[in-house]
Structure 1
Amino acid sequence: MLRQWLPLALLVCLGLVTAQDGGIIETLNGVAELSELVTYLDRYPDLTLWLQGLSDITFLAPNNDAFAALADSSTVPSIPLDEADAEALVSYHVLNGTFYDFSSGEYTLVPTALSGPQYANVSGGQIVAAKGSPWSNAMTFTSGKLHMSESEDEPLNFTGGVIHIIDSFLTLPQTFKATAEAEDMLGGPAFAAAAITVPQTGQNVSIDQLSDVTVFLPMNYSLQEVGNVIQNMTWAELDRLVAYHIIDQVLDIDPNAPPHGQYTTYEGSDVSIFSQNGFVFVNNARIVGSPNWFFSGGMIYTIYGVLNPDNTTVDPNINDAEIAFAGASFTPDFTFPTPASQTSPSDPSAASSSGGLSGGANAGIGAATAVAVVALVGVFLFLRKRRRTARELGPRKSYQYPLQYPMKDFEVSISHTELVANAAAPARGPIKEFTPAVSVYSLH
């Protein structure tokens, strides 16, 4: 019986050696479900030659189903045929390093070979987030626009590294504006339009002109929590607020081992990142986004709260996200200031009680007395008309909105999964039917 099994064992061993010694194209060509990929690569001899010369890499190989899905996509009507686009797409599937598997539970950030002129805003190559499964060989790879691709097969060895077969193409990182708007993030357009001052040059640029940055983007509900403050800001004040949400480095905030300490923002002040109560905080806001949301300039984290550059005091015993603006009230339909509105806020008292960001409110101090009198008369007439209208309409039902988020140990507390899933959903009332005690965390 042993003699009968020996030839088969030798053939199996020879097959393994061949798989390990073969080049990447040879190895891909030996897998039936990768035939579309091989055909696609054959169109670009220079790209194929480049792949064959790489070493110590992990290649994420889209299978035939991935090609079919991309061809049927409404957003990408066909496989890229331009050579430059093909090179960008394929190079984003080349991970720097040989990875047979990834740790389960949390994402590992891996740089790729994608670093051409259009994607040079992340040093070392654009990033992919990889995560393993505790129950199987499955791995998840998250790319641009939070797109997820999966691999369930055993890795294939080749002379330059390892191949993982994935079920869909990775999505190339997009601009910050396109990335945030794709998720219906309320602050996306305003953040994208803000003017950020580069400390080294003093030049004003947009987020999409920055490199190697981390952006903390408040979830929609959090912005609505301070909506009255935001809509009374000037454009310059909003620029400053946005700049305080940007750090000049790409941070890997692993919830199990997050970074701790002070980090300088583009506004010039520091933010503190720390763990407390089982959560990770940046100042008064809780980080609820995982390290898997990329744009072409770096990383985005969703936060439960809005940061205030004039309220940098950290509560070391914080239970959950707290509002950092005095005088804030829930305003579901607030509007962001626009570049044309670089004047004083329409409600100076609201702006001055926001814990800072009140430069616009003080801009008219030196105005002539006559102008001030005219403004006061106008306000008086407006309020008189408003009271008359209210009397005509009759009593109006009032709604009470929470000024502090539910605590972690409350039974109605919102889970991390719920927060991330609903980060972009515009809130029209309190999250869950619960109004906790009012508590405003502010610095005077």
Structure 2
Amino acid sequence: MSATAASYARTTTKQQEPGRFWHTFCDMHTVTRNQKFLVTRAEGVWLWDESGDRYLDGTASLWYCNVGHGRREIADAVHAQMTRLDAYTVYGDFANGPALELGERLAAHAPVIDPRVILTCGGGESIDTAAKLARRYWGVNGQAEKTHLISRAGGYHGLHGFGSSIIGMERFRVGFGPLIEDVSVVPHDSVEALEAEILRVGPERVAAFFAEPVIGAGGVYPPPGPDYFRRVAEVCRRHGVLFIVDSVICGFARMGNWFGIERYGVRPDMIVFAKGVSSGYLPLGGVIVSGEIAEPFWDRPGNPFLHGTTYAGHPACCAAAMANLDILEREDLFTVALEIEAQLDAAVRQLADHPMVAEVRAGTGVMAAVELSAETLDERGITTAEVFAEARSRGVILRAVPRALLISPPLIITWEQIDHLVSTLRSALDAVSAAHNGAQPGTAGVAGG
């Protein structure tokens, strides 16, 4: 058995039948032949499996459980809403109270001039909404040729139609045939490259530029300098290109503010959000649109934006989001997140001296990346999946991407829990290295309780 297979076997409980459920982002051939990792309950920063073993959730699930697991008040808010109005469409002139209230609350905090709020069911839908709105905005203003969309290398924008097309990671575009045309990707750290691409395509053809405040799933890359986004906004404004910020990961206190981009003092044309808006208790996302972009659709007759989703503005999802926002504000998790940001930065940088580690990226938001060295990955053949599995066997859940381990815990994590997370990751690195050296790795058990 390989080191990876052995480590995965240690992190799971009893053998299960393959079943019919198709997991996301995985090799189902492997999943159906190995044991599944069945999560049965969660509380705070902790998860439990079916054997009662406990694990530290070092990724807030998929970047979204900002207020932590098991918040009874969110469940109560959803229950109360569903006993009044379970669900109804917001197509046409239909509305519901929670959707209207949530729109007002989000608009009140958005760094967008005269904001309007479109609700969706998640980040991928929101990216598609923003991309279509950008193209349609130029069309109704007599510039239908402005359809080109630019994004950054390493950027992740979901995997719907437009998201799959503008994503800055080639592996997610392969094998699906032709995707949406009129898109291009520029380096994530160069304003000059962005302007050069706009000029190459022609400003008269470029509709919008998409960027995350911090590139998240692509490896936790903060902007190259404090003035990067200010300069980006100036380039977009100078050439008549809409600036769309993807705050799906960075929003709702993960960067110590509402949408992440406030840290850089710019006002984009649109903000895409999801994940932390409801802490994942129910699916919700949306787009905050400036009044200037909304104007032709709101103030001119005969220009409907013919786009929407079945469950947009779902009252129970909106109730969950508002209860979640109440927690963020009541517990001031915005300030808490800045404290955790510094603590996580200090802790994770202790791994920079590990022989398997090439770089540690942290200190901008409650997120970090521990990138493995080329020698580790390419010469020794160690994979991040092995380190992930070893850490999980020791009671800590991280996120493995091709060259790094990512960390993005709930915003209620304590200093002691951060220290436990980082020390466990160090032990996992040591164990995987020892296994590849032919030595006996340390005991790999899960935390009890």
Higher helix content, 1 or 2? 2
Give the number of the structure with larger relative contact order, counting CA–CA contacts within 8 Å between residues 6 or more apart. 2
What is the TM-score of this pair, normalised by structure 2?
A: 0.21
What is the TM-score of this pair, normalised by structure 1?
A: 0.21
Q: Larger Cα Rg: Structure 1 or Structure 2?
A: 1
